[in-house]
Structure 1
Amino acid sequence: MTGSIEQGTSRTDGNTHLLHFLVRIPRPMEKVWPAVATPEGLAGWFTQADVLEPRLGGAVTLRGLGEGRVTAWDVDRVAEYTLEGDRIRFHLERDGDTASTLRFTHEFRGGQETESRWRTRFEKLIESVAVP
């Protein structure tokens, strides 16, 4: 099974933009979680996490996005970071015994992010966790 980025939707409400993706990853949740919830994992496909306190309410600083807080944290399932007006949510679900589905949301103001930019990032994510 190969990974796939099956769904990407974009919605704008005033100055607020919402991007949603459904990403199928051919690795179990336990192998994908570190890629979205640790500084080392995030740096491998997305951006440097200069600060990441892995708990609800913990501090987080993501390079290029700013400082904020961990606004949702359910180990091995949900990591959500709210940074200076941006909200980035990673929600992992089991997809059989050997794969995962990532439900991703990025809420932001302004026009700095695009669907194609996130697709490129998700391709890197799939590659980064592909090694057993």
Structure 2
Amino acid sequence: MTGSIEQDTSQTHGNTRILHFLVRLPRSMETVWSAVSTPAGLAAWFTPAEVLEPRLGGAVALRGLGSGEITAWDVDRIAEYTLDDGGRIRFHLERDGDGGTALRFTHEFQGEGESEQGWRTRFEQLIDLLARPES
């Protein structure tokens, strides 16, 4: 099984922009969870987490995006990071077939921010990372 980016949509409400992606990944939820909820996992494909307290209400600081708090945390399923500038990044994991994971991703922000292509490039990096044989 290889990964794929099956859907991306963009909505604008006033000056708030919301990007949605559905990414199918060839690894278990536990493996994908590590990639979206740990400093080492995030740094491998997205950005370094200079602070990440893995719990609801914990502090988070993502290089280049800012700092804030963890506003949703359901181990192995949901990690949501809300940043002080009003941005919100949410990773929602679901089982997908035999051993795969569907990642439903949302990025909500105001003003100028990351483009769909920027996220697509990051998710391609995540797919490549997770397609490597596990050691």
Relative to the length of structure 2, the TM-score reads: 0.95
- How many angstroms apart in 1 are the aligned matches of 2:40 and 2:50? 10
Q: Deviations over 1:24-61 (max 9, x none)?
A: 00111011111000000000000010000000000000
- How many angstroms apart in 2 are the aligned matches of 1:58 and 1:130? 30
2:76 corresponds to? 76
Identity across matched positions, percent: 72
Structure 2: any 5+ residue segments left out of the alignment? none
2:37 corresponds to? 37
Q: Secondary structure at the match of 1:76?
A: coil
Structure 1 vs Structure 2 CA RMSD: 0.7
2:56 corresponds to? 56
Count of residue pairs brought into register by the alignment: 132
- How many angstroms apart in 2 are the aligned matches of 1:10 and 1:80? 19
- How many angstroms apart in 2 are the aligned matches of 1:130 and 1:73? 26
- How many angstroms apart in 1 are the aligned matches of 2:7 and 2:117? 12
**AA of the residue aligned to 1:129:** L
2:27 corresponds to? 27
Shift of 1:97: 2.4
**AA of the residue aligned to 2:6:** E
**AA of the residue aligned to 1:67:** S
Q: Secondary structure at the match of 1:57?
A: coil
Q: Secondary structure at the match of 1:119?
A: helix
